[in-house]
Amino acid sequence: MKLRTLPWLTGLVVLAAGSEVEAKTYRWVNEQGIVTYSDQPPQVRPAEGEREALISEALEISGTKKALETIPDHIRAQLDARQTPLKPEEKSRVVKILGDAFRPDVLYGAVRAAFRGNYEPQRMSIVIGQLRTPLFRKVAALEVAASEPGAKQDLERFALGLQGDIPRPARVALVQRHEASMRSAELQIEMGVVAFRAVSRSLEPLLPSEKRPTSRETDSAERSLRAQQDNLVRAALVRWLYTFRSLTDEELNEYVSFSETDAGRWFVATQRKGLLDAMRTAMDAAARQMAAAFPAKR
């Protein structure tokens, strides 16, 4: 259930398949190897006062915490991609301010706050019960492996291979369902816009007024980002096919079906809100620190 991917956050990180019965029947294997079938997903009953521990566990198992660790590097990449007349010492200070504002622990705190503010004990109970199953732990490991730097070339080879080895329609339908639930391409764009704004606002005090982007130029850049959605959706489907390539259709259907439940949708939506809130909060903090560190140039 990990949310991943942006043009600059690749690897961080998605119509229908299966019968009506399959979509409502859950199968899981507990730690003792016992297989269970039910019309209800696995549940745990958290004891009073376990809210913080359960939030931490959910963000750890789902891979959300690890994904946040990649964001500072991608913010730095955004800065490096900008053509600016910064002196080396100025750029060094900008890098430090952005790195401090977008620290993983700060972002993680904001995501946790989103779960505290939207906490639903019953839904979290269902989510934790599912995340603890061997299948979901296996999927989390696959997603982490697919996001490692060394997997990039392997993914590229896999994508090229799809031209001669077209996936079965049923498999494509499963990853389409996953992307429809996760909306990762849409998240990539929203995070890309926030990152663009963060770098733009941070650089404003360092640039003479005539070299600062106009509102029209900023709007045009954001429209260009949003225009990439169709391409990003296609890229996401290829990425999911690669990431889940070792799963059987039955396993993938079980995983995808949970994201379509009430509890699954709640977890993804809260996770998404927390991530975007974290990015916006970090952006505002970076802008304030930049304004304080550098006198605005005229």
| Structure confidence by residue, pLDDT tens digits, 160-192 | 999 888 899 999 999 999 999 998 888 888 877
Q: What percent of the chain has pLDDT over 90?
A: 35
> For residue 39, what are the CA distances in angstroms to 30, 33, 48, 248, 286?
16, 19, 27, 21, 48
Phi, psi of 36 (to 5 degrees): -130, 135
CB atoms within 10 A of CB 35: 8
CA distance 298 to 290: 16
Task: Provide the residue range defining the domain that includes 77.
Answer: 20-293
- The residue to which tokens 């003479």 are assigned: 208
Which three-class secondary structure state does DSSP give residue 295? coil
In a domain, 237, yes or no: yes
pTM of the complete model: 0.73
Question: Tens digits of per-residue pLDDT, 13-45?
Answer: 332 233 333 445 656 555 555 666 666 666 555
In a domain, 6, yes or no: no
- The residue to which tokens 């909306």 are assigned: 183
**pLDDT at res. 43:** 58
In a domain, 3, yes or no: no
In a domain, 110, yes or no: yes
Position 88 pLDDT exceeds 90: no
CA distance 36 to 28: 5
Lowest mean pLDDT, pick from 15-24, 128-137, 145-154, 248-257: 15-24
In a domain, 257, yes or no: yes
Question: Tens digits of per-residue pLDDT, 228-255?
Answer: 888 889 999 999 999 999 999 999 999 9
How many domains in the chain?
1
For the ranges 40-49, 90-99, 123-132, 183-192, the maximum mean pLDDT occurs at 123-132
CA distance 246 to 235: 19
